Structure 1
Amino acid sequence: MKNIFRTKPIESLLAETKGKNSLEKSLGAFELTMLGIGAIVGTGIFVLTGIAAAKYSGPALVISFIIAGLACGFAALCYAEIAAMVPVAGSAYTYGYAALGEFWAWIIGWDLILEYAFSVGTVAIGWSGYFVSILGDLGIKLPDIITKAPFEGGLVNLPAVAILVVITGILVAGVKQSATTNNIIVAIKLAVVLLFIVLGVRHVHPANWHPFMPYGWKGVFSGASVIFFAYIGFDAVSTAAEEVKDPKKDLPRGIIASLIICTVLYIAVSAILTGMVPYLKFNDTAAPVAFALQQVGINWGSALVSVGAICGLTSVLIVMLFGQTRVLFAMSRDGLLPRVFGQVNQRFHTPVKSTLLVGIITMIIAGFTPISVVSELTNIGTLAAFIIVSASVIVLRKREPDRPRSFKVPFSPVTPIFAMIACAFLIINLQKVTLVRFAVWLVVGLIIYFVYGNSHSVMNDEDLASTQDAAK
């Protein structure tokens, strides 16, 4: 129970990146930007736009995207500063450890496990929806028993499980292979999104934008909280910090560039989507972009978008599953979780054991859980992580003002404070049942920390060594 707020020196964190269990450095600014786009452009456009438009925002989905994008923009600047200064695997977990202490690091690490595990589940379910749709267009109809979760009238979502088996294998093989695969898939995905914009803009009917705000501002803010999931991805870039060749320059570039590109695409797609089809028609579809093209008679475009969506969601799975494994790896290397998952395989130079564990857990989530549950749980975990990172920037500016910073958040501490306020506001606008589930998750995490994590922390060894040196 003692020393739960002890911080881990940045020098100690940096030293870990050079040891036996350090990760291979092979990524540059381009790969990071593509990783960010790979994670961001996917579920938000291809899956959640329909849900958010029908149930929350209506045509005002555009405003919801802008609000969520602003919140992410503030947080992205905070990530850029601290990721360049502490280029170590673990993202917000590692930053919290350096700035706020072990207890808060555990809290945010546990949140990140929730974020990434359920985001992978959400995306895999969306991937399955598009896959089943493509097979349907080809005249092959899969039975509900193997394409839907038990709560939705099926037994298991088998396509969702199958794609995670493939992605897990790619991540085990190595980060270079993963990045190359992601680059190819992202190029296809961007081409498909641009194709939808070109085809769809010709079929926009302004009448479909009325009423523009059917659920009022409450709906707009709730919609922003839900489609906030669409922006998750730039934080996944920071989980790759330890594998970047020049983190001081490349990390800020990758984080900020990917967010700007994706925000522009989101605003354009959401405006066209709700202009093509009345928003209420999206209520029962997990593939809104393809559905919109079908409704206006562009069936070949619908089929092409479905293929592009499959590629897009695959890249999201690669990056999100990658991020999850790096957080688990960092927490295990620090001893807060079993250290066996903090080992790097000497053949593949990847954390194979943590990758396999994450793969199995996400397969269970994707195969047996409805999409509406997993997407909102992802959002609250991410928002909590953003708050911690923003606070860490303020604390480290105060505690270590002379430490070199290759990128600085403008107008600090105002910008980090705005980021925290915006994220807290979005949390408040989530459904109450989501807040309850999150609270339960935190309680479980606290039990694990006090029963196992605190007593097995590697910081205990460092504290003991310091005490012995002092005694001499």
Structure 2
Amino acid sequence: MSLKDTIFRKEPLNHYFKQDQHFIKTLTAVDLLALGIGAVIGTGIFILPGTVAALKAGPSIILSFIIAAFVCALAGMCYAEFASSLPIAGSAYSYGNIVFGELPGWLLGWALILEYVLAVAAVSTGWSAYFSSFMKGFGITIPQAISGPFNPSHGTYINLVAIIIVCLIAFFLARGLESSIRINNIMVIVKIAIIIIFILVGMFYVKPANWQPFMPFGLHGTFAGASTVFFAYLGFDAVSSSAAEVKDPDKNMPIGIIGTLIVATIFYVAVSVVLTGMVPYTQLNVADPVAFALYAVHQNWVAGLLSLGAIAGMTTMMITMIYSSSRLVYATGRDGLLPKQLGKLTKTNSSPKNAMIAVTIVIAILGGLVPLDQLTNLVNIGTLVAFAVVSFGIIPLRKRTDIVNHGFKVPGYPVVPIIAGLSCLYLMSTLSLETWIGSGIWFLIGLVIYFTYGIHHSKLATK
């Protein structure tokens, strides 16, 4: 077999179904919505509407979120069709393996590993900061030495709280998905309740005059705002990682993916409307614009609730991303591209325990020891690569006569998938040079791993 035939060999679909049938199907459409909303609506909802309004879009930030949601919905529909057609673990990694071949699938998986691991590591440090602030309210101060990444010149050696929260979440996920989903659902309800309280309280202080001028930065500013807030919607793709554990996946997966985007858009737009109506947009370039607006109208008690909402938001995001990344690593181990021990399920609760341990160790090290300020930019490019390939992948998927889809299909085929893919490529072009260099290094490492290990240990190579 030539090198070209080797790297583009495709995994048979029945092999995935046979391997993944050992997962216990427990997730409903409501659980999927909670996972998606938990990943998408985080602390950004308390920050982005204010800062982007102040710097780029003004009150038209409302339209910016709608435009960004539209672009995201295009990619979301493509994910929904794949999840409906291929209810298997591994998300875009497995989709790529089936429709494009082994190496493209591996690179997609490698991009998603970058997205999930860095996102959780970064959020764990934010969770640690909020928790430390919360504890100070009770007169408890966490020692500086264990409150930040390894930086002796600043007196910090390890972020112990970040490591503990990651390990706790992984522990609950490893014990069983059902109990973890219940915790996630409760946290999502708390977070949504706090957002609704802000909207209901804030609407009484809205002054329509604050929405004038509506587009102070022009139409260009509105679209610039859309490019920025697009990343607020990232995370819905993690829902597709759960396909092998979903009841009636051809029906429930599209509900989870598209429903997540609809709910997230409603809340982002509602917060933007109220926030820019409460105070002039020019005053919102602060670290905590929602809290700032509430203090401005003397609603300090609601501002105090935001910390609880932020902690709940970050917790649900970490639950979804740690869960998704463990399923992704399991899928690569299942196929032999990473050590096969990572692709094994426990006999007690059919969970990928080894993959979960591996993911947790990496995230804990990054969150506890490494400054992540610059690395988090790589999350964006990893996601957009996956979005673009999945969008374009609908075309070869439709041509596969061996894949039957009785569920959701992208409307407007093939125009919508092509527009979705091109939109993602455009957003990738707006990212910084540093981000491209960093991602290039990451993909180079991925290629080295594939050609030195994966290509030889792949289960397709041994058949």
Give the structure-2-normalised TM-score: 0.90
User: 1:67-106 to 2 correspondence within 5 Å?
Assistant: 67-106=67-106
**1:455 is aligned to 2:456:** yes
- Asked if the contact 1:57–1:214 (Cα under 8 Å) also holds between the matched residues in 2, the reply is yes
- Asked if the contact 1:115–1:379 (Cα under 8 Å) also holds between the matched residues in 2, the reply is yes
- Asked if the contact 2:174–2:353 (Cα under 8 Å) also holds between the matched residues in 1, the reply is yes
| One-letter amino acid of the counterpart of residue 10, structure 2 | T
Unaligned runs of 5+ in 2: none
| One-letter amino acid of the counterpart of residue 450, structure 2 | Y
Q: CA deviation at 1:458?
A: 0.7
Partner of 2:19: 16
Matches of 2:187 and 2:165, distance apart in 1:
14
Matches of 2:208 and 2:125, distance apart in 1:
32
- Asked if the contact 1:93–1:109 (Cα under 8 Å) also holds between the matched residues in 2, the reply is yes
Q: 3-state SS of the aligned residue for 1:74?
A: helix
User: 1:170-209 to 2 correspondence within 5 Å?
Assistant: 170-205=172-207
Q: CA deviation at 1:143?
A: 5.7
Partner of 2:290: 289
- Asked if the contact 2:85–2:403 (Cα under 8 Å) also holds between the matched residues in 1, the reply is no
Q: CA deviation at 1:177?
A: 1.2
| One-letter amino acid of the counterpart of residue 86, structure 2 | V
Partner of 2:310: 309
Q: 3-state SS of the aligned residue for 2:461?
A: helix
Partner of 1:34: 34
Matches of 1:200 and 1:369, distance apart in 2:
38
Partner of 2:425: 424
Matches of 1:406 and 1:381, distance apart in 2:
28
Mean CA deviation greater in 419-428 or 269-278 = 269-278
Matches of 1:373 and 1:208, distance apart in 2:
35
**1:107 is aligned to 2:107:** yes
- Asked if the contact 1:333–1:343 (Cα under 8 Å) also holds between the matched residues in 2, the reply is yes
Q: 3-state SS of the aligned residue for 2:88?
A: coil
* Residues 55 and 322 of structure 1, relative CA distance in 2, 3 Å threshold: farther
| One-letter amino acid of the counterpart of residue 343, structure 1 | K
Matches of 2:431 and 2:177, distance apart in 1:
35
Q: CA deviation at 1:216?
A: 6.3
* Residues 357 and 346 of structure 1, relative CA distance in 2, 3 Å threshold: same
Partner of 1:236: 238
- Asked if the contact 1:27–1:245 (Cα under 8 Å) also holds between the matched residues in 2, the reply is yes
Q: 3-state SS of the aligned residue for 2:7?
A: coil
Q: Please list the CA deviations of residues 249-302 of structure 1 after superposition, one character each: whole Å capped at 9, or x if unmatched.
A: 1111111112101111111113333444555666562x5433442343322111
Give the structure-1-normalised TM-score: 0.89
* Residues 213 and 154 of structure 1, relative CA distance in 2, 3 Å threshold: farther
Matches of 1:261 and 1:444, distance apart in 2:
37
Q: 3-state SS of the aligned residue for 2:406?
A: coil
Unaligned runs of 5+ in 1: 463-472
User: 1:346-357 to 2 correspondence within 5 Å?
Assistant: 346-357=347-358
| One-letter amino acid of the counterpart of residue 257, structure 1 | G
| One-letter amino acid of the counterpart of residue 75, structure 1 | A
- Asked if the contact 2:211–2:276 (Cα under 8 Å) also holds between the matched residues in 1, the reply is yes
Q: Please list the CA deviations of residues 20-60 of structure 1 after superposition, one character each: whole Å capped at 9, or x if unmatched.
A: xx321111111111111111111331455555456655544
Matches of 1:149 and 1:276, distance apart in 2:
37
Q: CA deviation at 1:195?
A: 0.6
Q: Please list the CA deviations of residues 87-106 of structure 1 after superposition, one character each: whole Å capped at 9, or x if unmatched.
A: 00000111111111111101
* Residues 440 and 281 of structure 1, relative CA distance in 2, 3 Å threshold: farther
User: 1:39-438 to 2 correspondence within 5 Å?
Assistant: 39-49=39-49, 52-53=52-53, 57=57, 59-142=59-142, 145-149=145-149, 153=154, 155=156, 156-205=158-207, 220-221=222-223, 223-277=225-279, 285=287, 287-370=288-371, 372-400=373-401, 403-438=404-439
- Asked if the contact 1:157–1:366 (Cα under 8 Å) also holds between the matched residues in 2, the reply is yes
Mean CA deviation greater in 197-206 or 276-285 = 276-285
Q: CA deviation at 1:129?
A: 3.4
- Asked if the contact 2:49–2:271 (Cα under 8 Å) also holds between the matched residues in 1, the reply is no
Q: CA deviation at 1:215?
A: 6.4
- Asked if the contact 2:39–2:317 (Cα under 8 Å) also holds between the matched residues in 1, the reply is yes
- Asked if the contact 1:74–1:419 (Cα under 8 Å) also holds between the matched residues in 2, the reply is yes
Q: Please list the CA deviations of residues 327-348 of structure 1 after superposition, one character each: whole Å capped at 9, or x if unmatched.
A: 1110111011111111112223
Q: 3-state SS of the aligned residue for 1:200?
A: helix
Identity among equivalent pairs (%): 45
Matches of 2:440 and 2:214, distance apart in 1:
35
Matches of 1:63 and 1:149, distance apart in 2:
38
Q: CA deviation at 1:401?
A: 7.9
Q: Please list the CA deviations of residues 411-443 of structure 1 after superposition, one character each: whole Å capped at 9, or x if unmatched.
A: 111111111011111111122221221111111
- Asked if the contact 1:43–1:123 (Cα under 8 Å) also holds between the matched residues in 2, the reply is no
Q: CA deviation at 1:397?
A: 0.8
* Residues 357 and 335 of structure 1, relative CA distance in 2, 3 Å threshold: same
Mean CA deviation greater in 298-307 or 109-118 = 298-307
Q: Cα RMSD between the aligned structures? A: 2.6
Mean CA deviation greater in 136-145 or 177-186 = 136-145
What number of residue pairs does the alignment pair up?
Answer: 458
Q: 3-state SS of the aligned residue for 1:181?
A: helix
Matches of 2:89 and 2:450, distance apart in 1:
20
